[in-house]
C-alpha cells in the first residue's frame, strides 16, 4: 500500500521500505514566485538537472505503484494502490526492480472487461504459459503407457522425455532427458504384472528425479501391487503392502494417488508426511450403468469385506440417477485355499432383478463366475459385473467368456491384451479423465473430494 502524507512545509510521497530502494524522496524546489512546489510542476523552460532527476523519480514511483497493484491482484487481495504520480504511458521508460520476481496477473471477469485488447492478449499468453509450463511435469514407466498418454492429452500437455529400458544383463536403465529442477513431477506407473519389474522401474524413476532436484514427486499408481498382503493371516508371513509403502517412502516420494486400494488401511502404511489419495473408481462405473435400462437393480458384494464398496456404489446410483428401488445383497464365501472357493451363500433377495456384482479386482475370475452362477440359481434376471482392476490371471479371461455374466465392465488401470480385446463380454472404461482432473486439482491446490460429490 502506497499512502500520501502532507507535511506543513512540503508535500512528501512516503513509500514502504521495499519501494524506497527504487527512488529517493522527491524534494521540493523553492520558487521566487511563491511557496515550495514540485519541480515537475514548473514550466519546461525553467527546469534544471535536478528537475529531470525528479521526473525520473516520478516515473519510478509510478512503476512501483503499478507493480504493487499487480502484486495485489496476483495474490487475490482487495487492497488498492494510491499514488499521485500519473500512470506511465507506453512511451515512458518503465523501471523494474530486478529483485522482484515476474508477476502473473490473474484477473476476474470484471477486470477482464476493462482490459484493452493488447492486455487481454498478454493475459491469455500468461495463462497458457501457467497451464503448460508452470512447473508441472508428467513421466511414465512401461507399466501402462497408453493410460499415461491419455492422461497427458486430458491435461493438455506432453509426457516428459525419459528412457526406461533394460541393460544386457536385465538391470533397469532409467534416464530423464528434461530439466526437472524445482518442478512438480507426477510419475504414472501401475505395479501390475510383471509386478517386480514395474515396481523397480518406479523406485528408480523416483530416485532419479530426486537426484535431479525435483521440487515435489507424486506417484500415480492406478493399480497397487501386493495390496492383498495387507495383514498377517498366519505365522511367519510378511505384510508386503506395508513393505512396498516403506520402499516408496524411503525413495523420497511426496504424495501417492491410487485407484481403489484393496483395503483402506494401506493408506496408513505411509507416514503422515506422505498423503495418499485413494480414488473411487466406482464413479466411472456408476455413469456407465446409470445409462442402462436396469430392472429392479441390486448391487451385490462378492464377500463381506466389499459391502462398504457395494453400498457406496448403490448410493451413488440412487443419488445421481434418481433410482429409488436399488437393492443391496451380499455373498458369503468360504475358501478352501487361496484362489479356490468351497461354498457360497447369498444374503438378500435377487428374484427377477438385474444384479451388478461390484468388486475392486478380478484375478482368476473364479469367485466372480461362481457368484454369477449362484445369483442365476436364485432367480436373477441378468448379472453384470464391475471391477476397477482386471488382472485375468491364468484362465480368468476364458472363464469370463464362458460364464453366465451378461457383461463384465473394468477400468483401464492395467494395460489391455489382444485376448481381452477379443472377449465380447468385456467392456473397458477409461479412468484417465478422473486421474487427469485429480492431478490438476493437486497441482492447483484445489479440493479432490469435490470430484466425488
Distance of CA 84 to the CA centre of its chain: 45
Catalytic pick among 131, 333, 404, 425: 333
Q: Grid coordinates representing 193? A: 504384472
In 10 A of CB 354, how many CB atoms?
Answer: 19
Q: Grid coordinates representing 104? A: 502473473
Query: Which of 83, 55, 45 minimizes the C-alpha distance to 67?
Result: 83
Taking phi first (over 0 means left), then psi (-120 to 50 degrees means alpha), and beta for anything else, what does residue 21 get? alpha
Tell me if residue 333 is catalytic: yes
Query: Which of 226, 250, 260, 256 minimizes the C-alpha distance to 240?
Result: 226
**CA end-to-end distance (rounded Å), the chain:** 41
CA distances from 190 to 23, 225, 293, 436 (A): 57, 8, 34, 15
User: What is the C-alpha to C-alpha distance for residues 314 and 65, in angstroms, rounded to an integer?
Assistant: 57
CA distances from 52 to 14, 57, 89, 151, 161 (A): 20, 9, 17, 58, 54
Q: Give the angle 9-15-17 at the CA atoms, nearest 5°.
A: 125
User: What is the C-alpha to C-alpha distance for residues 310 and 15, in angstroms, rounded to an integer?
Assistant: 63
DSSP string, 198-264: HHHHHHHHHHHHHHTT-SEEEEEESS-TTTT--S-SSSS---HHHHHHHHHHHHT--EEEEES-SSG
Which pairing describes strands 255-259 and 184-188: parallel, antiparallel, or unpaired?
Answer: unpaired
Active site residues: 333
Amino acid at each position: 500500500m502506497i499512502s500520501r502524507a502532507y507535511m506543513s512545509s512540503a508535500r512528501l510521497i512516503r513509500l514502504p521500505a521495499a519501494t524506497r530502494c527504487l527512488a529517493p524522496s522527491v524534494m521540493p524546489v523553492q520558487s521566487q514566485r511563491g511557496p515550495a512546489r514540485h519541480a515537475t510542476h514548473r514550466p519546461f523552460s525553467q527546469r534544471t538537472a535536478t528537475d529531470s532527476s525528479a521526473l525520473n523519480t516520478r516515473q519510478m514511483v509510478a512503476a512501483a505503484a503499478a507493480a504493487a497493484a499487480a502484486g495485489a491482484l496476483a495474490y487475490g487481495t482487495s487492497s488498492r494502490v494510491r499514488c499521485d504520480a500519473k500512470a506511465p504511458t507506453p512511451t515512458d521508460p518503465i523501471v523494474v526492480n530486478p529483485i522482484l520476481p515476474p508477476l502473473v496477473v490473474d484477473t476476474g471477469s470484471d477486470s477482464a472487461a476493462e482490459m484493452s485488447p493488447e492486455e487481454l492478449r498478454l493475459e491469455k499468453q500468461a495463462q497458457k504459459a501457467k497451464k503448460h509450463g508452470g512447473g508441472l511435469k508428467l513421466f511414465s514407466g512401461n507399466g501402462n503407457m497408453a493410460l499415461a498418454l491419455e492422461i497427458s492429452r486430458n491435461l493438455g500437455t506432453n509426457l516428459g522425455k525419459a528412457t526406461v529400458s533394460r541393460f544386457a544383463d536385465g538391470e533397469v536403465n532409467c534416464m530423464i532427458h528434461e530439466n526437472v529442477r524445482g518442478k512438480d513431477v507426477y510419475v504414472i506407473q501401475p505395479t501390475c504384472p510383471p509386478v517386480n519389474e514395474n515396481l523397480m522401474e518406479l523406485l528408480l524413476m523416483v530416485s532419479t528425479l530426486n537426484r535431479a532436484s525435483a521440487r515435489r514427486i507424486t506417484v500415480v499408481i492406478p493399480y497397487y501391487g501386493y495390496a492383498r498382503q495387507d495383514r498377517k493371516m498366519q505365522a511367519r508371513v510378511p505384510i508386503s503392502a506395508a513393505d512396498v509403502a516403506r520402499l516408496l517412502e524411503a525413495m523420497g516420494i511426496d504424495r501417492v494417488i491410487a485407484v481403489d486400494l484393496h483395503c483402506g488401511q494401506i493408506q496408513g502404511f505411509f507416514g503422515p508426511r506422505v498423503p495418499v489419495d485413494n480414488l473411487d473408481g466406482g464413479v466411472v462405473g456408476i455413469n456407465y450403468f446409470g445409462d442402462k435400462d436396469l430392472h429392479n437393480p441390486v448391487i451385490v458384494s462378492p464377500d463381506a469385506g466389499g459391502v462398504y464398496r457395494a453400498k457406496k456404489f448403490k448410493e451413488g446410483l440412487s443419488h445421481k440417477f434418481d433410482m429409488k428401488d436399488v437393492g443391496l445383497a451380499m455373498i458369503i464365501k468360504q475358501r478352501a485355499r487361496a484362489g479356490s472357493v468351497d461354498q457360497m451363500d447369498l444374503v438378500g433377495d435377487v428374484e427377477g432383478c438385474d444384479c451388478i456384482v461390484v468388486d475392486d479386482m478380478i484375478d482368476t475370475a473364479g469367485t466372480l463366475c461362481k457368484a454369477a452362477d449362484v445369483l442365476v440359481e436364485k432367480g436373477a434376471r441378468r448379472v453384470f459385473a464391475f471391477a476397477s482392476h482386471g488382472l485375468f490371471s491364468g484362465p480368468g479371461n476364458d472363464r469370463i467368456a464362458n460364464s453366465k455374466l451378461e457383461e463384465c465392465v473394468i477400468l483401464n488401470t492395467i494395460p489391455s491384451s489382444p485376448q481381452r480385446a477379443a472377449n465380447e463380454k468385456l467392456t473397458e472404461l477409461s479412468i484417465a479423465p478422473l486421474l487427469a482432473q485429480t492431478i490438476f486439482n493437486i497441482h492447483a491446490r484445489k479440493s479432490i473430494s469435490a470430484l466425488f460429490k
